[in-house]
Structure 1
Amino acid sequence: MEEKSGKEIVDSIGQKMGFTPHVLETLAALDEDFVKRYGHCDGRLLNDGVLPAKTKILMALAVVASKQCESCVMSQMRSAIHNGATKEEIMETMEVISITSGAPAVAACREALRVLLLEGDVGGKRVNAKRD
């Protein structure tokens, strides 16, 4: 099996997430080996295993919210929607975030919730968010 190039890995991740994070494009241009290692790890998150990809992405959403990384929350929420997460599943994840990480973590989700759930069409997968 031929090893994928950095660009192929970035394209594959973008297809699975529903968008390509700009940071991945930059990293691919700077260090293709880094992107290859990153792609291996991200592949475990974005592909079904014992847990469906959607579930793992919602878990990742909770983790990045706990770290209060707003751009990471936006990316994970966009990816969750692309992978079939419903508004109800995202809101239940928000409850877990609130219980486990408190108000600061919920606040880190504010913009993503507004853009993706209030302005977007979760069921139809239309996502208005321009950031990642």
Structure 2
Amino acid sequence: MHDKVKEFNDYRQKMNDKILEADNKVIKRIYNLDTNTFKEGHLPVKTKELLGLVASAVLRCDDCVQYHLEAAMKNGVTKEEMMETMSIATLVGGTIVIPHLRRAVEYWEMLENK
């Protein structure tokens, strides 16, 4: 399972590098906004990552869900907090979010075992 986490992160890094090498001002600004949005501010980083997780699940972006799961774990989120966060995402997004909930729980377990 650890290989899937590494594979996801390696691919994400490789493609981000290629995208940023294109030197597109708009894309660079969007990446910069994303980086700055998730920095410590009036809300702690942990809270921001959980908000990102909810938005990603509701928008049904598995790559984003995985990214925010990993960042959340690195910022001290417990499995119980993650599950409560995903319960909010499932409530807001409806039952169509359940497949993403399944994959989120699976990826969380991979992170726990890495």
Q: Deviations over 1:23-61 (max 9, x none)?
A: 422211222534531243123332111101111111111
Take 2:101 and 2:19, find their aligned partners in 1: how far apart are those partners? Answer: 25
Tell me the equivalent position of 1:51.
Answer: 43
> How far 1:84 moved relative to its partner?
1.8
Take 2:24 and 2:65, find their aligned partners in 1: how far apart are those partners? Answer: 25
Tell me the equivalent position of 1:120.
Answer: 111
Tell me the equivalent position of 2:79.
Answer: 87
Q: How many residues align?
A: 104
Q: Does the 8 A contact of 2:57 with 2:89 survive in 1?
A: yes
TM superposition outliers: structure 1 runs of 4+ over 4 Å? none
Runs of at least 5 residues in structure 1 that lack an aligned partner in the other structure: 1-18
Tell me the equivalent position of 2:60.
Answer: 68
1:95-114 mapped onto 2 (5 Å cutoff): 95-114=87-106
> How far 1:79 moved relative to its partner?
1.3
Please, what TM-score do these two structures have when normalized by structure 1? 0.67
Q: Does the 8 A contact of 1:64 with 1:73 survive in 2?
A: yes
- State the percentage of identical aligned residues: 29
> How far 1:85 moved relative to its partner?
1.3
Tell me the equivalent position of 2:6.
Answer: none
Once the two structures are overlaid, the 10-residue window that deviates more, 75-84 or 106-115, is 106-115
Tell me the equivalent position of 1:3.
Answer: none
1:112–1:99 Cα change, 3 Å? closer
Please, what TM-score do these two structures have when normalized by structure 2? 0.75
Identify, as 1 or 2, the structure richer in helix: 2
Structure number with greater CO (CA < 8 Å, separation at least 6) is 2
